[in-house]
Structure 1
Amino acid sequence: MTTQSLIRQWRIPGAITLTFIALLAFMILHAHWGAFIQWCLAAQITLHRYLVMYLLQLNNHQTSGGLWLLAGAFVYGVLHAIGPGHGKFIVATYLSTHSEPRLAARLIPFFGSLMQGVSAILFVFILAVGFNLAAGDLSQSRWYVEKISALLIGSFGAYVMYQAARSMRPRKMRIHALTPHARHSPDCECGHHGVGAATEGDIKARLGVILAIGARPCSGAIMILLFSNALGMVTWGMAAVMTMSLGTGLSIMGLSLAVRYARNRTAALFSDDAQRLKWVVPVLKIAAGVALILFATVLFLTVIPVSANGDFIAAGC
């Protein structure tokens, strides 16, 4: 029995098994979602208080506090990646509906997480240092930034839908002259053909994912930067924030590779039905765009309210 026949034989049982596992995981997650959210928030608040304590140790010339600050910031970033967040949803939605090479599946969420740290640094140093805004004004500015980032996520979802609908249109046949320069084999790595071909649309979509993730700075990173700026320890605050982003990026990289593997295995089950895949893939991308727009709507409507005393007090730190 050939490999192709084995795939055909196990295609339907495999699809049923995957669906059953996904439904079971969803039911378990839904049953314990509230407790999981509370645990994540409590752990992050506790870690944030430790980070503040390490900054105070540095301010008292205790150099060991710097090492503990960076280690705690890295753990904070890992926990931030484990908990619910917009970055995980965007990465999972994009990679489950777009075929990306392994390197791109690693770098896209990694750069998006690093951009979150850069966004937090720019937010604090443009508004808190440059314009010297008060705590309440910073909270209001954060509110606007989160609203705008939700709109960016929704715009990216609309772009994904547009690209999918565009790919469903019939394309005109192009005739190339069979010149010596035009002749090449499928494995010549020229970048003009194949599944991994780098096109302008691919680059735009990848940049859109990075921007959608990074445009929404982490509130914990903003709090650490504000506190380090008040103590006059800006460099340590920036180092802690980028270490947070590193922990988040490395964790989301693991998620992205798992999503990519699941997508490829699922596609392999239906690889012998190319005509159906020609229409199924764009439809799935349109569904992903709709999901991103709905997710952006939820984010837009559930932004943390403005606090007159500052977000660091509202967060219990």
Structure 2
Amino acid sequence: MTAQRLTHDWRIPTAGLMLLIVLAAGFTLHSHWNAFIQWCLASQITLHRYLVMYLLQLNNHQYSGGLWLLTGAFFYGVLHAIGPGHGKFIVTTYLSTNKESLLAARVVPFIGSLMQGVSAILFVFILAVGFNLASGDLSTSRWYVEKISAVMIGAFGAFVIYQALKSLRPPKMTVRAIKPLHQHDEQCGCGHHGVGADLAQGDWKTRLGVILAIGARPCSGAIMILMFSNALGIVTWGMAAVMTMALGTALSIMGLSLAVRYARERTVAFFGGGSSLRWLMPLVKIVGGVALILFATVLFLTVIPISANGDYIAAGC
């Protein structure tokens, strides 16, 4: 018996054992899911109240509160990334169903998470400062933004399904092969290699869709911090806190994306990347697209209701 045959024979029982471990972990998580959600929410509310206290210290010219504000905002972003959220679901689905370079697996979720902070700043200052809307009107606008972002996530899932179905079409027949005028190698010096090529070789439309799907839904905690800092007249500190919060989220989600990419590469290497599995990847992408649509439906139906007194009052500010 050859080593290759022995390796092949061990794949199925090993895969079965891995599946049992995943199912056991999923059952354990499901059993403690409510407690986990409650812990995440309670921790975020506690940190949020500390952030408000630091803003009040800054308003009273206690500038040491600024350092604590940025530190607390960073840990708030990290904790926000640990809990359940749309960004992690999108990144996990995307990287588990698409072969991506190491650089893209870092850059795409990082930019998408930072976009959450930018979208929160634009949301508050266009509506609160530009249009001078009241707290209840801002809550209504937030409700519409979250509904629209859920629709965008569903549209991205439909796009993933479309791309998978498109890849299943038989390739077009070519009459003759055209020999390129220039053969690329590492010594050619034409500039088509390295970091630039690493990003350019991928599907930029899908990557842009991931960034928009993550960044279009601003963090509600960031919105509340900005609204409170705007009411106190310390807008700059509020913007710095929000972007620090987005940085904490971005670093955490980037770590998750690298772990998902590594797991995908190991799984493909374990089962082999031959032609026998090529039909499986479009199927996995279709399943991922359907999961995104279902997740977007849940988000659409479970948006936080409109608060006439303002979201920041309902959140304990």
- Band the TM-score falls in, shorter-chain normalisation: over 0.9
SS in 1 for 2:279: helix
**Take 2:135 and 2:5, find their aligned partners in 1: how far apart are those partners?**
65
Indicate conservation of the 8 Å contact 2:49/2:316, yes or no. Answer: no
Indicate conservation of the 8 Å contact 1:143/1:304, yes or no. Answer: yes
Q: Which amino acid aligns with 1:74?
A: F
**How far off its partner does 1:31 sit?**
0.3
Q: Which amino acid aligns with 2:251?
A: L
**Take 2:180 and 2:50, find their aligned partners in 1: how far apart are those partners?**
67
Closer/same/farther in 2, CA of residues 136 and 33 from structure 1, 3 Å limit = same
**How far off its partner does 1:29 sit?**
0.6
Closer/same/farther in 2, CA of residues 63 and 102 from structure 1, 3 Å limit = same
**Take 2:313 and 2:110, find their aligned partners in 1: how far apart are those partners?**
30
Indicate conservation of the 8 Å contact 1:14/1:269, yes or no. Answer: no
Indicate conservation of the 8 Å contact 2:158/2:290, yes or no. Answer: yes
Specify the alignment match of 1:225 in structure 2.
226
Indicate conservation of the 8 Å contact 2:121/2:223, yes or no. Answer: yes
SS in 2 for 1:257: helix
Q: Which amino acid aligns with 2:249?
A: T
Specify the alignment match of 1:269 in structure 2.
270
**How far off its partner does 1:74 sit?**
0.2
SS in 2 for 1:99: coil
**Take 2:262 and 2:43, find their aligned partners in 1: how far apart are those partners?**
30
**How far off its partner does 1:108 sit?**
1.1
Closer/same/farther in 2, CA of residues 164 and 228 from structure 1, 3 Å limit = same
SS in 2 for 1:115: helix
Specify the alignment match of 1:103 in structure 2.
103
SS in 2 for 1:258: helix
SS in 1 for 2:217: coil
| TM-score under structure 2 length normalisation | 0.93
Please give the per-residue CA displacement for 1:169-228, whole angstroms capped at 9, x wherever unaligned: 0011443322542x446998846xxx96845x7100011001000000000000000010
Specify the alignment match of 2:16 in structure 1.
16
**Take 2:95 and 2:4, find their aligned partners in 1: how far apart are those partners?**
25
Specify the alignment match of 1:303 in structure 2.
303
Please give the per-residue CA displacement for 1:55-78, whole angstroms capped at 9, x wherever unaligned: 111111111100000000000000
**Take 1:3 and 1:114, find their aligned partners in 2: how far apart are those partners?**
48
Q: Which amino acid aligns with 1:99?
A: K
| TM-score under structure 1 length normalisation | 0.93
SS in 2 for 1:211: helix
Indicate conservation of the 8 Å contact 2:103/2:198, yes or no. Answer: no
Q: Which amino acid aligns with 1:138?
A: L
**How far off its partner does 1:3 sit?**
6.9
Trace 1:40-189 onto structure 2 (pairs within 5 A).
40-174=40-174, 175-181=176-182, 183-184=183-184
Over the aligned positions, Cα root-mean-square deviation in angstroms equals 2.1
Q: Which amino acid aligns with 2:14?
A: G
Trace 1:17-32 onto structure 2 (pairs within 5 A).
17-32=17-32
Q: Which amino acid aligns with 2:239?
A: M
**Take 1:118 and 1:140, find their aligned partners in 2: how far apart are those partners?**
20
Closer/same/farther in 2, CA of residues 36 and 244 from structure 1, 3 Å limit = same
**How far off its partner does 1:313 sit?**
1.3
Trace 1:244-259 onto structure 2 (pairs within 5 A).
244-259=245-260
**Take 1:123 and 1:3, find their aligned partners in 2: how far apart are those partners?**
60
Q: Which amino acid aligns with 1:269?
A: F
Indicate conservation of the 8 Å contact 1:100/1:196, yes or no. Answer: no
**Take 2:143 and 2:154, find their aligned partners in 1: how far apart are those partners?**
17
Report the number of matched residues: 311
**How far off its partner does 1:9 sit?**
3.5
Please give the per-residue CA displacement for 1:270-290, whole angstroms capped at 9, x wherever unaligned: 215x23322100000000000
**How far off its partner does 1:144 sit?**
0.1
Unaligned runs of 5+ in 1: none
**Take 1:74 and 1:140, find their aligned partners in 2: how far apart are those partners?**
28
**Take 1:275 and 1:246, find their aligned partners in 2: how far apart are those partners?**
41
Indicate conservation of the 8 Å contact 1:7/1:269, yes or no. Answer: no
**Take 2:240 and 2:7, find their aligned partners in 1: how far apart are those partners?**
50
**Take 2:108 and 2:257, find their aligned partners in 1: how far apart are those partners?**
9
Unaligned runs of 5+ in 2: none
**Take 1:269 and 1:63, find their aligned partners in 2: how far apart are those partners?**
55
Q: Which amino acid aligns with 2:262?
A: Y
**How far off its partner does 1:18 sit?**
2.0
**Take 2:265 and 2:217, find their aligned partners in 1: how far apart are those partners?**
30
**How far off its partner does 1:252 sit?**
0.7
Closer/same/farther in 2, CA of residues 3 and 95 from structure 1, 3 Å limit = farther
**Take 2:105 and 2:61, find their aligned partners in 1: how far apart are those partners?**
42
Indicate conservation of the 8 Å contact 1:15/1:266, yes or no. Answer: no
Please give the per-residue CA displacement for 1:110-139, whole angstroms capped at 9, x wherever unaligned: 111100000000000000000000011000
Specify the alignment match of 1:236 in structure 2.
237
**How far off its partner does 1:11 sit?**
1.7
